Protein backbone atom coordinates (compact mmCIF):
# COMPACT_ATOMS: atom_id res chain seq x y z
CA UNK A 1 0.00 0.00 0.00
CA UNK A 2 1.36 3.44 -0.92
CA UNK A 3 0.38 7.02 -0.30
CA UNK A 4 0.37 9.14 -3.47
CA UNK A 5 -0.23 12.49 -1.72
CA UNK A 6 -4.00 12.42 -2.19
CA UNK A 7 -5.19 9.01 -1.13
CA UNK A 8 -4.01 5.60 -0.05
CA UNK A 9 -3.62 3.21 -2.97
CA UNK A 10 -3.34 -0.54 -2.92
CA UNK A 11 -2.16 -2.36 -6.03
CA UNK A 12 -3.54 -5.70 -4.82
CA UNK A 13 -6.91 -4.85 -3.32
CA UNK A 14 -9.04 -7.44 -1.56
CA UNK A 15 -6.73 -10.36 -2.27
CA UNK A 16 -4.20 -8.89 0.16
CA UNK A 17 -6.36 -9.75 3.15
CA UNK A 18 -8.38 -12.66 1.77
CA UNK A 19 -8.22 -16.10 3.34
CA UNK A 20 -8.07 -17.67 -0.14
CA UNK A 21 -4.96 -15.92 -1.41
CA UNK A 22 -1.64 -17.66 -1.91
CA UNK A 23 1.31 -15.30 -2.33
CA UNK A 24 3.80 -16.78 -4.78
CA UNK A 25 7.27 -15.38 -5.52
CA UNK A 26 9.20 -16.68 -8.51
CA UNK A 27 12.97 -16.98 -8.94
CA UNK A 28 13.18 -13.49 -10.43
CA UNK A 29 11.57 -11.97 -7.35
CA UNK A 30 8.19 -11.21 -8.92
CA UNK A 31 5.23 -11.69 -6.61
CA UNK A 32 1.90 -13.16 -7.71
CA UNK A 33 -1.38 -13.41 -5.85
CA UNK A 34 -3.00 -16.75 -6.61
CA UNK A 35 -6.64 -17.36 -5.78
CA UNK A 36 -6.96 -20.82 -4.23
CA UNK A 37 -10.74 -20.63 -4.59
CA UNK A 38 -10.18 -21.01 -8.36
CA UNK A 39 -9.07 -24.60 -7.72
CA UNK A 40 -12.63 -25.61 -6.83
CA UNK A 41 -14.90 -22.86 -8.18
CA UNK A 42 -14.94 -21.97 -11.89
CA UNK A 43 -16.27 -18.46 -11.16
CA UNK A 44 -12.77 -17.45 -10.06
CA UNK A 45 -9.52 -17.18 -11.99
CA UNK A 46 -6.25 -18.48 -10.64
CA UNK A 47 -4.43 -15.15 -11.10
CA UNK A 48 -7.04 -12.37 -11.02
CA UNK A 49 -6.25 -8.97 -12.55
CA UNK A 50 -5.20 -6.63 -9.76
CA UNK A 51 -6.36 -4.72 -7.91
CA UNK A 52 -9.41 -6.79 -7.01
CA UNK A 53 -11.92 -4.25 -5.74
CA UNK A 54 -15.01 -6.45 -5.56
CA UNK A 55 -15.15 -10.22 -5.18
CA UNK A 56 -17.98 -12.61 -4.35
CA UNK A 57 -15.51 -15.03 -2.80
CA UNK A 58 -13.73 -12.61 -0.49
CA UNK A 59 -13.45 -13.76 3.11
CA UNK A 60 -11.27 -11.77 5.42
CA UNK A 61 -8.45 -13.90 6.77
CA UNK A 62 -8.41 -14.23 10.56
CA UNK A 63 -5.75 -11.97 12.09
CA UNK A 64 -4.69 -10.77 15.48
CA UNK A 65 -5.81 -7.15 16.01
CA UNK A 66 -3.18 -4.82 14.52
CA UNK A 67 -1.20 -7.61 12.88
CA UNK A 68 0.18 -7.30 9.36
CA UNK A 69 -1.56 -9.41 6.73
CA UNK A 70 -0.17 -12.91 6.68
CA UNK A 71 -1.41 -14.67 3.55
CA UNK A 72 -0.83 -18.32 2.75
CA UNK A 73 2.75 -18.65 1.49
CA UNK A 74 2.96 -22.23 0.32
CA UNK A 75 2.93 -23.50 -3.24
CA UNK A 76 4.94 -23.18 -6.39
CA UNK A 77 5.72 -20.24 -8.63
CA UNK A 78 3.89 -19.95 -11.95
CA UNK A 79 5.72 -20.50 -15.22
S1 LIG B 1 -11.58 -15.03 -3.44
FE2 LIG B 1 -11.44 -13.03 -4.47
S3 LIG B 1 -10.42 -11.69 -3.02
FE4 LIG B 1 -10.06 -13.82 -2.35
S5 LIG B 1 -8.08 -14.40 -3.28
FE6 LIG B 1 -9.72 -15.04 -4.68
S7 LIG B 1 -9.94 -13.32 -6.12
FE8 LIG B 1 -8.82 -12.55 -4.33
What pLDDT shows up at residue 68? 57
pLDDT for res 2: 64
The CB of 21 under 6 Å from ligand 1? The reply is yes
CA of 13 to the centre of ligand 1 (A): 9
41-64 burial code (b ≥16 CB/10 A, e <16): eeebeeebeeebeebebbeeeeee
Domain ranges of the chain: 1-62
Q: How far does residue 39's CA lie from ligand 1's centre (Å)?
A: 12
- Least confident range from 6-10, 22-26, 44-48, 52-56: namely 6-10
Amino acid sequence: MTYDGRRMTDDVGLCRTCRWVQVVTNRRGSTFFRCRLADTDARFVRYPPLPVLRCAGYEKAPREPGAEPEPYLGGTAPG
